[in-house]
Chains A and B, each alone.
Chain A
Amino acid sequence: MSRQTSRLDAKKVNSELLTLTYGALVSQMLKEIENTDDVNKQLERIGYNMGVRLIEDFLARTSSSRCLEMRETADKIQHAFRLYLNMQPTVTSWSSSGDEFSLVWDQCPLSEWVEMPSNGLKYCALIPGAIRGALQMVQLDVQCWFVQDQLKGDAITELRVKYIKRLEDAVPAGED
């Protein structure tokens, strides 16, 4: 006897499971950790750890070469968003010196079905963490923060990325 209904869509289920699991993690953290700032920090750290490992996958899959300029970096971050979260953020608001830009999106799989309490929680803090972690592995030190957030009532979500410095290769300790 075969079922009439169509089979489940594996990609969709996986993506929904990610969203729900992330939601469960955040709510669990809010329960365990009283201070919302600490929750933000934890989420950022988790993102950082994921970014550190995600960059390897990204480089292997896209076989992209070293970025010589922030504009290239921005393009690649945009590509990574498409690859990993299937979203297409726009890169805008370049600063005149070209070392700061914004990523703007209006829909993110992580923040689906989310309603926020107004307590200063940065729900998507995972994303800036991941960007920071990934870029650190290619010797770029950046700062990432949210300027606007849909979950807080803004029309769009805007993530600002600022170039700090290029990390230099150092001589391993004790090998001088």
Chain B
Amino acid sequence: MADEIVFDLLHSEIINYALDQSKDNNDKKEVDLSVVEYIGFAAGYKIMERLTREWPRFKDELDTMKFICTDFWTCIYKKQIDNLRTNHQGVYVLQDNAFRFLNNFSNGHQYLEYAPRYVAYTCGLIRGGLANLCINSVVTAEVQSMPSCKFHIHVQRT
């Protein structure tokens, strides 16, 4: 079983790789994080299949979200989500006050502009995990002050 630090380093190298790629493709200053998100999606989709194999069936959408906030999050991010809010119409807000990938940054505003790079993978991970449980969603993240992070999940119903 691999050590955590290997995953941490791989995560930052994936971001590095995506930045390199988007630099090659266009000269614009904007960085393209869709690759990072997609890698998260692919990994999330597959890991969910393995995690829930021997799990009792989820009662409803909220039950699924609770699973993400507690068991899933504890495994990967070493802690539970601090706050889960929902409007009961398909919008969920997951708040993590000490997000693993932002924990090593300064608490000030200095690196706030780089925060999106470090949450893109996790957005994909959540989206992928939910997709495998037949919940199509759009996941975005919001970082107002390090190292706390809010993930917004909008469930798509059609």
Contact = CB atoms under 8 A, between A and B. Distances in A.
Interface size class of A (residues with CB under 8 A): 35 or more
Contacts of A4: 56
B5 A84 contact: yes
Interface residues of B, number: 34
Contacts, number: 103
A11 B11 CA distance: 17
Given A15-B1, A27-B42, A50-B9, A10 B74 contact: yes
Interface string A1-34: 0011101111111111111111111011100100
Given A3-B56, A17-B47, A42-B17, A50 B10 contact: yes
- Interface SS majority for chain B: helix
Contacts of B51: 8, 13
Majority-rule SS of A interface residues: helix
A49 interface: yes
B112 interface: no
A54 B13 CA distance: 12
Given A15-B1, A28-B38, A109-B1, A21 B7 contact: yes
A5 B17 contact: no
Interface string B1-29: 11111110111011011000100000000
Interface of A: 3-5, 7-25, 27-29, 32, 42, 46, 49-50, 53-54, 57, 83-86, 109
17 contacts: A8-B72, A8-B75, A10-B74, A13-B51, A14-B75, A14-B76, A16-B47, A17-B76, A21-B10, A23-B46, A24-B40, A24-B43, A32-B21, A32-B35, A54-B5, A86-B2, A109-B1
